[in-house]
Amino acid sequence: MGKSSPEDLAHLWFNRVWNALDEEAVLQLMHRRGEILGLGTTVLGRDEFLSYHRAFRRGFDRVRIEIVDLVAEGAAAAGHARFSAVHRVSGREVDALLSFAVRFEGGKLRWARHVVDFTALLSQVGTLDPRAVGLLFES
């Protein structure tokens, strides 16, 4: 896997780990000391990520992440993706954009940062009134 391009590895990561919810892919594609930021918490290493991944799977059905644009240089890639799923508790469909940057080492994910629109997600599952965001700008 060490000869794969960062573009190929990014697509493989999202398709197998998120779209297929494949735990074995985490062991194959993530560096043992991998670090992932921006998922609501910082995740260090495969074991922590697997714990996060299991909690995520308990929360969502019909997960789909589609990379909509991607650029790469050296061992890194960055882009935007569209996340859609069904929230199990509310039964509501969610749809949001996210930005990501990833670095690979030896063909494995070593570092990732995600910028997720959690406000949109919380609003879509009914736990946040989107009008409340306006309170940030009131004096």
Q: Which residues of the chain carry a pLDDT beneath 50?
A: 1-2
* Residue pair 85/40 in contact by the 8 Å Cβ criterion: no
pLDDT value, residue 1: 45
The dihedral through the CA atoms of 73, 79, 85, 87 has a sign that is positive
> How far, in Å, CA of 94 to CA of 108, rounded?
29
Strand segments, DSSP code E, in 24-132 are 30-37, 43-44, 60-73, 76-87, 93-105, 108-116
Residue type at position 33: R
Topology classification of domain 6-128: Nuclear Transport Factor 2; Chain: A, (3.10.450)
Residue type at position 23: E
DSSP summary character for residue 56: H
> How far, in Å, CA of 117 to CA of 4, rounded?
30
pLDDT value, residue 2: 43
pLDDT value, residue 6: 96
CA-CA distances (angstroms) from residue 106 to 6, 12, 29? 11, 15, 10
Structure tokens at 120: 């949109």
Domain ranges for the chain, please list them: 6-128
pLDDT value, residue 139: 61
